[in-house]
Homo-oligomer: A and B are copies of this chain.
Amino acid sequence: MSKKKSDSIKDISTLGEFGLIDHLTKDFKIVQKSTLKSIGDDAAVIFEQDRQMVVTTDLLIEGVHFDLSYMPLKHLGYKAVVVNLSDVYAMNAEATQITVSIAISNRFPLEAVDELYEGVKTAAKIYNIDVVGGDTTSSTRGLIISVTAIGFAEKEELVYRDGAKENDLIVVTGDLGAAYLGLQVLEREKQVFQVNPNNQPDLEPYVYLVERQLKPEARKDVRELLKALEVMPTAMIDISDGLSSEAMHLCKNSKLGCNLYEDKIPLDPQVISTCEEFNLDSTTIALNGGEDYELLFTISTEDFPKIKGNPHLTVIGHMTHQKEGMHIITRANTKIPLKARGWNSFQETSE
């Protein structure tokens, strides 16, 4: 309950939980009309009369989901918000509120928590959402962040994973594989640094990749874009675990098969050049890399003319009958079964 006014206090244990919450949340402004009561009571209060609500949550653990040796705290706060908003946008809903809980060691300086919350604040501002609650506590080791995101949409706007129909086109936003490669670049630089701390990393050729890893964006714009194009996806999912895994989710939920075309998968030039440098297959990276936070959706073939040529959207395949299975058609015209080799935090070695 020590609500300190001085900004010079640097010790979290002196502030206490309530003081820390006050300190961290004092600048949060309410922007959503549906936020009736934010931080400061037993619960936040939200009201929307006609739209349906979506809710999604993610837990991020230091040493599992992020490495503070190359992840700046501000970026981490930003990313923790963005990965949750991505799930809201994957329902074709408008993201409106989040709660943010953190657990930190009590030896963590207040400045570090401030940095983390700067990232949360920045994301809230850019994505026009309210931070309405959360929890701060100590951890025995490492940093833990839990975010819950809330959004709203008209009933008929919501897009589920199970609505795809046979012959629907499979569309992906943006490009794939960059976030995973960004992580590989950062891991390599970390090892170089450990061998020789005087070695300054040259990240210039990998700027896009590193940015996609450290400061991903959620596709808030796609909901508006599709509305403007008058295209209603039949099914949608966000790409957090890799194209392959997500395409399989759409197929299984919609009880269909699919054909993806290797030559259609959108890749940034930096992905292609870095794959060559690292001796990696760019298609494998795009299929299994994960963390791109692009959207993967299906549309009726009738809607194809509406999206044709749009720089944000790429048709990469189509849905088939379930018995045809889930495949990728290579450049050499070979049909290879899709496998979900996406990131699995429970496996000690990657496949």
List residues of chain A with CB under 8 Å of any chain B CB.
Answer: 1, 12-13, 15-17, 20, 36-37, 40-47, 49-50, 52-59, 61-65, 87-88, 90-91, 93, 97, 99, 101-103, 106, 132-135, 137-142, 144, 146, 148-151, 155, 158, 160-162, 236-238, 245, 248-249, 252-253, 340, 344-348
Contacts and interface: CB of A to CB of B under 8 A. Distances in A.
24 contacts: A1-B249, A1-B252, A1-B340, A13-B348, A17-B344, A17-B345, A36-B52, A43-B54, A44-B54, A45-B54, A45-B91, A45-B158, A46-B52, A47-B53, A55-B133, A57-B133, A57-B146, A58-B101, A59-B103, A61-B140, A64-B138, A137-B345, A140-B142, A141-B142
B87 A43 contact: yes
Contacts of A53: 45-47, 53
Contacts of A142: 140-141
A281 to B, nearest CB: 21
Contact of A55 (B20, B58, B99, B348): B99
A44 B152 CA distance: 11
Nearest to A160: B41
Given A16-B347, A345-B137, A345-B138, A99 B57 contact: yes
Interface of A is mostly: mixed
B144 A43 contact: no
Contact of A139 (B61, B97, B238): B61
